């Protein structure tokens, strides 16, 4: 998949909700392939910790593959943290990682997830 397609994915997902802070496509080695960030925000992670987070996502994605045969492939992962909520989706060997404001209520989170799934499936 090309960088142009990754940027389209980021743009499409980023336009789903004003609560979305960041959308990034992360490669299988943890490299950031494309991203968008809501312009009015200060990132919660510095550059070093951002790279650690992306490496962590790549390692988890690799480990999840061991269970695909028995449990099926992961469609998405939703994490709630103290300061932010995140969801991630697999597109082939890449991951789309989305951070969302903590103040987004559950129904909005479900709407965001439901709106992301067709975008992800289109590019899978």
pLDDT tens digit sequence for 42-59: 877 666 766 667 666 666
Cα separation, 108 vs 110, in Å, equals 5
pLDDT of residue 94: 87
Nearest CA among 25, 62, 32 for reference residue 47:
32
What is the model's pLDDT at position 73?
Answer: 80
- Which numeric CATH code is attached to 3-123? 3.30.450.30
Residue 90: the pLDDT is 85
CA dist., res. 114 & res. 80, Å (int)? 17
Q: What pLDDT is attached to residue 11? A: 96
pLDDT in tens, 11-25: 999 999 999 999 999
Angle at 79 between CA 40 and CA 93, to 5 degrees: 90
Q: Give the residue extent of every domain in the chain.
A: 3-123
Q: What is the per-residue pLDDT for 18?
A: 96
Checking phi first, is residue 84 left (phi over 0); if not, alpha (psi -120 to 50) or beta?
Answer: beta
pTM for this entry:
0.84
Cα torsion angle, 111, 123, 57, 101, sign: negative
| Cα separations in angstroms, 89 against 8, 10, 39 | 15, 12, 23
Q: Mean pLDDT per segment of 10 residues, for the chain of length 124 residues?
A: 91 96 89 90 72 65 65 84 91 90 95 96 89
Residues contacting residue 93 through CB under 8 Å, at least 6 positions apart: 27, 28, 61
């Amino acid at each position: 998949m090309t960088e142009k397609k990754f940027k389209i994915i980021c743009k499409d997902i980023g336009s789903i909700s004003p609560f979305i802070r960041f959308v990034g496509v992360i490669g299988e080695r943890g490299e950031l392939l494309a991203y968008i960030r809501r312009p009015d925000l200060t990132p919660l992670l510095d550059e070093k910790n951002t790279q650690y987070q992306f490496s962590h996502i790549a390692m988890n994605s690799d480990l999840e593959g061991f269970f695909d045969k028995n449990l099926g492939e992961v469609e998405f992962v939703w994490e709630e943290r103290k300061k932010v909520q995140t969801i991630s989706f697999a597109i082939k060997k890449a991951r789309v990682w989305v951070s969302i404001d903590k103040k987004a209520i559950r129904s909005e989170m479900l709407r965001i997830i439901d709106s992301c799934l067709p975008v992800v499936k289109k590019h899978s």
